[in-house]
Amino acid sequence: MTTMNSSDISYLLKNMADYMGIPARYFHSWQEEARIELDPAKKINRQEAFSNVVKRKRNE
């Protein structure tokens, strides 16, 4: 698994949110949560991290 910096995460989330039709106003709050999900010790990939954040937000 490769490591990601904040610009990679930002780019990834913007594209995934756009693809899924998620309004931009949610992007910044989700970005920090996905960064937490991408903790290298957890061995979780980028799609799983974003998916986990989306699932939590939909359940709120």
The residue with greater pLDDT, 9 or 29, is: 9
What is this structure's pTM? 0.35
pLDDT at 2 over 70: no
Would you say 24 and 17 are in contact if contact means Cβ atoms under 8 Å apart?
yes
Distances (CA, A) of 60 to 4, 36, 50, 53: 28, 18, 16, 11
- Domains of the chain, by residue range, sit at 6-58
Q: How far apart are CA 48 and CA 16, in angstroms?
A: 12
What contacts 22, CB < 8 A, 6 or more positions away? Answer: 30, 54
pLDDT at 55 over 80: yes
pLDDT digits (tens, 9 = 90+) for 14-42: 787 778 777 666 666 666 666 655 555 55
